[in-house]
Chains A and B, each alone.
Chain A
Amino acid sequence: EPEVTQTPSHQVTQMGQEVILRCVPISNHLYFYWYRQILGQKVEFLVSFYNNEISEKSEIFDDQFSVERPDGSNFTLKIRSTKLEDSAMYFCASSESGHNSPLHFGNGTRLTVT
């Protein structure tokens, strides 16, 4: 069964540094998402991306965050200047036709900001 893959599985960075989290969505999917999960808490929506542009973003997704689809397969989340409170699991997800179809999540990247 095709799956969403994310790299790295764990990223440790110092406060103020830039990080890029990478995702390869399922190949025939058109909608891409980033969610995050602070340890022990709920899964929170960050951003959705379709047709090479952001279609929706949450309040969490401020100017420190950006997303990009640099080629036909990768989808990246960049955090420009990390803060301690950015420490969380970041999940990439994709779907065939937007929020009206099931979301398929990757296994996540655990980001630890020290």
Chain B
Amino acid sequence: QQQVKQSPQSLIVQKGGISIINCAYENTAFDYFPWYQQFPGKGPALLIAIRPDVSEKKEGRFTISFNKSAKQFSLHIMDSQPGDSATYFCAARNSGNTPLVFGKGTRLSVIA
């Protein structure tokens, strides 16, 4: 129940295209859903996060869509660029002060 299932494992997108990464969870007590971006040799860096009281959050080219009834959330990267090539992790956390649970990651490659 503590798992966050992420798909796809890897993704190749043409420059200018839309990258979509999906996550699903079981635990209805999760109330914070961040996405982290990780470049090779670096630690994960917070990209964008959402709470279940909204269905969408947009920051620049990055949008989180959240479907509470389906227990799913997704990251959309509009106008994908080669510099977006990285590994993306979704994560979730219970209400209260509990550790983040991470998905297995999606390796995104944006090709020109």
Cross-chain pair count, CB within 8 angstroms = 52
Instruction: Determine whether A32 belongs to the interface, using a CB cutoff of 8 Å to chain B.
Output: no
- Interface-lining segment among B13-21, B55-63, B77-85, B95-103: B95-103
Q: Which of A17-37 contact B (CB under 8 A)?
A: 33
21 contacts between A and B (CB under 8 A): A41-B104, A42-B102, A42-B103, A42-B104, A42-B105, A43-B36, A43-B91, A44-B102, A45-B100, A55-B97, A91-B43, A99-B97, A99-B100, A100-B32, A102-B46, A104-B46, A105-B43, A105-B45, A107-B41, A108-B42, A108-B43
Q: A42-B103, A42-B104, A43-B89 are in contact. Are A91 and B98 (CB under 8 A)?
A: no
Distance in angstroms between the alpha carbons of A4 and B46 in the assembled complex: 14
Indicate if the CB atoms of A43 and B44 lie closer than 8 Å: yes
Chain A interface residue bracket vs B: 20 to 34
Identify the B interface with A (CB < 8 A).
Answer: 32, 34, 36, 41-46, 49, 89, 91, 93, 97-105
